[in-house]
Amino acid sequence: MDKQKRNENYNIYVESKVPKTKAWPSLFKAFLTGGIICVIGQGFFDLYSYLFPNLAESEVTTCMLMSIIFLTCLLTGFGIYDVIGAWGGAGSVIPITGFSNSISSPAIEFKKEGIIYGICVKMFTIAGPVIVCGVVGSIICGIVGLFI
């Protein structure tokens, strides 16, 4: 039996053995975590609207986002957000809190290599691709939008 065939058969065999993540419990946990994060965000929104009635809605939104980003960084620093993430999965990754965590966690981790080579270089190792894709996507959308 040649190696390629052997490897293909082995991969098929391994695939049949690999335990699968159960979809429904994961979905439920993600829904719950994501939902709670959104409720907290809404809470900040309502609070700021009540406290500062003169602010425009977009400004209140910005303040709300800043607040939950700050809160996530704080929780990341205290070593709590990774526990939430391990339980909640996509529920904690998809909201802006996940993005905040993906920048603050390498910043903390690589602080030991110094400010330039550590924090500045490694800060975007995880969030970098998201930013690049986001910018490229918006450029394409912008160009398309120009002609419609």
Which chain residues interact with other proteins by CB under 8 A?
4, 6-8, 10-11, 13-14, 17-21, 76-77, 79, 81-86, 88-89, 92-93, 98, 101-102, 104-106, 108-110, 112, 126
In the complex with other proteins, the residue whose CB is nearer, 47 or 108, is 108
In whole angstroms, the minimum distance from the beta carbon of 95 to other proteins comes to 11
Q: Chain centroid to CA 21: how far? A: 20
CA-to-CA separations, 67 to 13, 14, 41, 56, 64, in angstroms, rounded:
49, 46, 8, 17, 5
In the complex with other proteins, the residue whose CB is nearer, 41 or 48, is 41
In the complex with other proteins, the residue whose CB is nearer, 41 or 98, is 98
Neighbours of 102 (CB within 10 A): 21
In whole angstroms, the minimum distance from the beta carbon of 139 to other proteins comes to 26
In the complex with other proteins, the residue whose CB is nearer, 60 or 76, is 76
Please check whether residue 27 is in contact with residue 94, taking contact to mean a CB–CB distance below 8 angstroms. Answer: no
In whole angstroms, the minimum distance from the beta carbon of 27 to other proteins comes to 13
3-state helix, strand, coil in the chain (%, to 5): 85, 0, 15
